Chain A
Amino acid sequence: KQEVTQIPAALSVPEGENLVLNCSFTDSAIYNLQWFRQDPGKGLTSLLLIQSSQREQTSGRLNASLDKSSGRSTLYIAASQPGDSATYLCAVGTSGTYKYIFGTGTRLKVLA
Chain B
Amino acid sequence: NAGVTQTPKFRVLKTGQSMTLLCAQDMNHEYMYWYRQDPGMGLRLIHYSVGEGTTAKGEVPDGYNVSRLKKQNFLLGLESAAPSQTSVYFCASSYSERGAGNIQYFGAGTRLSVL
A98–B50 contact, CB under 8 A?
yes
A89–B103 contact, CB under 8 A?
no
Contact with B along A21-42 (1 / 0, CB 8 A): 0000000000110101000011
A interface: dominant SS: strand
Name the segment of B11-19, B40-48, B70-78 touching the other chain. B40-48
Contact with A along B84-100 (1 / 0, CB 8 A): 00000010100001011
Residues A102 and B103 in contact in the complex (CB < 8 Å), given A42-B108, A43-B109: no
A34–B43 contact, CB under 8 A?
no
- Chain A residues with CB under 8 Å of B108's CB are 42-43
A-B contact count (CB 8 A): 56
Interface residues of A in 55-112 (CB under 8 A from B): 89, 91, 93, 98-100, 102-105
Counting CB contacts under 8 A, is A11 at the interface?
Answer: no
* CA A45 to CA B33, docked complex, whole Å: 15
- Chain A residues with CB under 8 Å of B45's CB are 99-100
B48–A98 contact, CB under 8 A?
yes
* CB<8 Å pairs between A and B, sample of 13: A31-B97, A31-B102, A34-B103, A43-B4, A43-B90, A43-B106, A43-B108, A44-B43, A49-B103, A98-B31, A98-B48, A102-B43, A102-B44
